[in-house]
Structure 1
Amino acid sequence: MATTDKEHALQGHLGAGSLMMLIIAASAPLTAVAGGAPTSYAVTGMVEVPMGYLVLGVVLLIFAVGYAAMSSNITNAGALYAYIATGLGKRHGLAAAWLALVSYNAMQIGLYGIVGVTISGTLSALLGIEVSWWIAALVCWLVTALLGAMNIDASAKVIGVLVLLEFAVVAFVDFIGLANPAEGLSAQAFDPAGFAGPGVGAALAFGMAAFMGFESATIYAEEAKDPKRSVPRATYGALMLIAGFYAFSAWAIGQGVGDSQIVDRARELGPELIFVFLEEGGHGGLATVGRIIFVTSLLAALFAFHNAVARYALVLGREGVLPEKLGRTHPKTHAPIYASLAQSALALLFIVGFAAYGEATNAGPEFPVLTMFSWLTNAGAFGIVFLLLITSIAVVMFFRGDREHNVFVRVIAPVLAMIGLAVIFIEILIHFDVMVGQEGFHPLVVGMPSVILLTGVAGYIRGEMLRRSNPELYECIGTGVGVAA
């Protein structure tokens, strides 16, 4: 059975600042601004895309009120899984755990598709070296696997440097855009009246990708210095920084290109928009640096989601729900070594599988972006938003009868978050065809969300089976510890 002693405990000394860097790494600032913002402009046809980031930020800050309050009572690397198991029951918790494993794996593995293509294109453009996308992806896979075996304090420093470089590049782009506005400075992007058209749903659906991973501070609770204080601080700080900085940056880019041109230019250039903008403005050197940092941005996101998967698997291994070996940590680095290796092995299978299919069918250079990246990351985002929605319900149930916290924390905030997240979830479902590049009821449009949700159903059924066949192990679900040997 899973161990209950401290031999395989996660260890670290993360403060609120380090936790914020790990959270922001998952949202990948340069990727969100260079890739996400132009995509939102292109798909929605709205100048008010920056307003979407602020709306999402408000919804998630409201969610964070109850979530952070609950974190002061629960210190568990299982995060959303542990919260749902505590608030709604162990069967719901196991359903959430399985759904989380699939969703975070999908987010992480899907990124290899775009990072491989990005590195391949960058090497070709800058050095004239032609490298297949899957070779570049395998190099990133190896780096991620090595970082996953390191102590979290050491790897957090690496991630922190990469994230700061991203912010520096985006800040330069913002400065250039505002210093040389194409049509004069305008506040149209923040006009609430304009944020009411048919593209609002798509803006919320695509904008949500910029916030993926904001909830991950709780995953590192066992590795934080003072989790009861640092986890809430990191969560609030990261959310405010993400919402404010991304909204400001999307607006600044819009000012540099021009309100009347931003949608058309985004549709024409896509993720190349800010780099072409820099080159056209005589900042070719910064554009080159930006393309390189874009690669490291994706690498930081890869590692952030790898961490999330490994820690969910570690908790389930401890509890005996998954093989006990997954619940062990490295004796020196205290990293979740076997869970990390398992995630790396799964990612390797997908990289090799997509590479083999692409080679066999002579697929074009954008194949891994249009398939591996688009399919998996959007399916993962769909699952994570659903988990956040269920967590809001769990927060309300957890604080029933509680008198320590006020009614806003216990009821009002989580209910408002529940409503907001339900709207976002429905919008993602409605626009899932656009997000995966298909039309109508394509098998992918129906199949990908179904796989995510059915995974949760399977987890619930497994929980019921354990309740009947192994009550002792069933009682361990959501606790972070296993049955005593």
Structure 2
Amino acid sequence: MLTGSSTEISTFKGEQRALRADRIGAPALLLSVLAATAPLMVVAGVVPTTFGAMGIVGVPLLFVIVGAVLALFSFGYAEMSRHVHNAGALYAYISRGLGSTMGAGASYVALFAYSIMQIGTYGIFGFEISGQIAEHWQHNVAWWIPALCGVAITAVFGALKIDLNARTLGVLLLIETVLTLVFDFSFVTDPGPQGVSLHAFSPGTLSGAGLGTALCFVIAGFVGFEQAPVYAEETSDPQRVVSKVMFLAIGFATVFFAFSSWAITVATGPAHVVGDSQKQSANLIFALNQDRLGNGFTDVLNVFFITGIFASMLSFHNVVARYAFAMGRDGLLPSAVGRTAKSSGAPAMGSFLQSVVSLAVVIVFAVTDDKPNGDPTAPVLRLFTWAGNVGALGVVLLMGTAAVAVIAFFVKRGAAGVQAWRLVTSGVAAVALGVIFVYSVKDFSVLLGANPGHGLRWILPGIIALAAVIGLVYGLVLRVKRPEVHARIGQGNEAFQLEKAAAAASAAAAPAGPAEGSGTPA
């Protein structure tokens, strides 16, 4: 960094091609990140589905194991965030460690993965709202109508200032967290037929055909913590705030989800949790609550289940918009995408593009849905579940690659000795994430309820492979055709500021050239 002159270069502030700094502090960032994990949606939607579809009782233990792996990953990832401030986060880190071409491949994987996950939430959002309308107002409304309304509302919020979004997300997060803890303790204090049992934490409960896919479901519950560096350019103190928020988010998610999923096994009894989840699916939590806390609490819970889904939709929308912005700034997408709105400082074009893609996908699923109202096949079992797990696969691949990139980054800079213990934890995390990825792909047919030879069991994970190939090929093309663009992939605002400084220096030197050679005395 240059200092002491008007050409000072900042790696996280800039003009036009930089997100507006000092928008979000540690508390607001933590709330935004945790909102993406959607605590109530995970506990009421993802956890029962994992119990039922995968037939695995040890879901609480899986949350503990995955939380430990992600903590190991975060030691190196957090240290990297102190050196690189870029809204492209994961792909920027991979580019800095493993080279620009790998960074280009990672950027498209990140864009596809987070976009798919965000779009998937519209399915369960529309389905839950249509169900509430049918129950309380006796009107049948197709799921895709409230889903399209969700697309429109998210588009409006996505164009606003990030601090306004953070306040909205924070309020919703706090309410749904309190509600979840209320019914968790009601389950534990009023246990099922087997009493308060710790059986779900026994290693023997991890047997089952769908272990790999169960790991993918659990990873999806954590997705959000790694988004903290995406907001580094918009924080007041990225060197400290980002790493602090990541570890707080991992700790919260691990304890909260392990405890909540264990409480469900207590309420049903470990021997019955799989069967009850298969019968009730996402309605399991509400059925258990109705018996213990009554209709009034259950109705309130339904409302905040929906607002929690909205909070997750908005949080992921913001992240996709920022990845698109970073890619536009780096030359991986049209340059217009790498601009911010003057009024809000938000990545308006990236936000707009995500809204357009979301609109198109929801319409496709709506047109192809031939089931009657109230059937969850298209919105929940396909759009939400398929998209969530495909997106989670992409994030697992990105994190595993980023863990390797962290090692390469510090080794290439001669800091291996100083960062030795972080490099070790990154290596262990890379191996563990690689194992999770392989098992998730291997067991993907269990998620689909199809035979191992079914085309979709390869086509859906293949979306991530396709994104990687597109990015790698484009990166190679840039390397040959536009080497200057290729060289700045992952550099983000730092490259922009260097360009400004070079241009200013060149302009200052230009008039002096002829004068020195003219022979005119000073």
TM-score (norm 1): 0.95
Which of 86-95 and 191-200 deviates more?
Answer: 191-200
Matched position secondary structure for 2:369: helix
- Alignment correspondent of 2:23: 13
Deviation at 1:362, TM superposition (A): 6.7
- Alignment correspondent of 2:405: 394
- Alignment correspondent of 2:4: none
CA contact (8 A) 2:265 2:273 kept: yes
CA distance in 2, matches of 1:402, 1:193: 42
Which of 278-287 and 417-426 deviates more?
Answer: 278-287
- Alignment correspondent of 2:341: 330
1:374/1:199 CA distance change after superposition, 3 Å: closer
Which amino acid in the other structure matches residue 160 of structure 1?
Answer: G
1:345/1:200 CA distance change after superposition, 3 Å: closer
Matched position secondary structure for 1:113: helix
- Alignment correspondent of 1:181: 191
Does residue 298 of structure 2 align to residue 287 of structure 1?
Answer: yes
CA distance in 2, matches of 1:228, 1:189: 39
Matched position secondary structure for 2:243: helix
- Alignment correspondent of 2:510: none
Alignment of 1:54-133 (within 5 A): 54-133=64-143
Q: Deviations over 1:271-329 (max 9, x none)?
A: 11110001122521111111111111111111111111110110111122211111111
CA contact (8 A) 1:81 1:97 kept: yes
Alignment of 1:199-278 (within 5 A): 200-278=211-289
Identify which of 163, 180, 192 aligns with 1:170.
Answer: 180
CA distance in 2, matches of 1:362, 1:203: 29
CA contact (8 A) 2:162 2:346 kept: yes
Identify which of 372, 379, 394 aligns with 2:390.
Answer: 379
Q: Deviations over 1:170-205 (max 9, x none)?
A: 101111011111232122122245446665434323
Matched position secondary structure for 1:25: helix
CA distance in 2, matches of 1:88, 1:209: 26
1:297/1:436 CA distance change after superposition, 3 Å: farther
Deviation at 1:365, TM superposition (A): 2.7
Does residue 338 of structure 2 align to residue 319 of structure 1?
Answer: no
CA distance in 1, matches of 2:382, 2:206: 31
- Alignment correspondent of 2:353: 342
- Alignment correspondent of 2:453: 441
Deviation at 1:438, TM superposition (A): 2.8
Which of 365-374 and 221-230 deviates more?
Answer: 365-374
- Alignment correspondent of 2:439: 427
Matched position secondary structure for 1:76: coil
CA distance in 2, matches of 1:282, 1:154: 34
Q: Percent identity between the aligned chains? A: 39
- Alignment correspondent of 2:37: 27
Deviation at 1:391, TM superposition (A): 0.6
Does residue 413 of structure 2 align to residue 413 of structure 1?
Answer: no
Deviation at 1:341, TM superposition (A): 0.6
How many equivalent residue pairs? 480
Q: Deviations over 1:416-438 (max 9, x none)?
A: 10111011111211121122343
- Alignment correspondent of 1:42: 52
- Alignment correspondent of 1:352: 363
Q: CA RMSD in A?
A: 1.9
CA contact (8 A) 1:95 1:455 kept: yes
Does residue 307 of structure 2 align to residue 296 of structure 1?
Answer: yes
CA contact (8 A) 2:225 2:249 kept: yes
CA distance in 1, matches of 2:170, 2:469: 37
1:47/1:437 CA distance change after superposition, 3 Å: closer
Deviation at 1:364, TM superposition (A): 7.2
- Alignment correspondent of 1:150: 160
Identify which of 443, 467, 480 aligns with 1:468.
Answer: 480
CA contact (8 A) 2:113 2:395 kept: yes
* Runs of 5+ consecutive residues of structure 1 not aligned to the other structure: none
- Alignment correspondent of 2:512: none
- Alignment correspondent of 1:450: 462
CA contact (8 A) 2:60 2:257 kept: yes
CA contact (8 A) 2:56 2:207 kept: no
Q: Deviations over 1:48-68 (max 9, x none)?
A: 221110000000000000000
Which of 56-65 and 443-452 deviates more?
Answer: 443-452
* Runs of 5+ consecutive residues of structure 2 not aligned to the other structure: 1-12, 504-522
Identify which of 141, 150, 165 aligns with 2:151.
Answer: 141
1:316/1:201 CA distance change after superposition, 3 Å: closer
Which amino acid in the other structure matches residue 19 of structure 2?
Answer: L
CA distance in 1, matches of 2:459, 2:206: 31
Matched position secondary structure for 1:399: helix
CA distance in 1, matches of 2:17, 2:470: 28
CA distance in 2, matches of 1:114, 1:194: 29
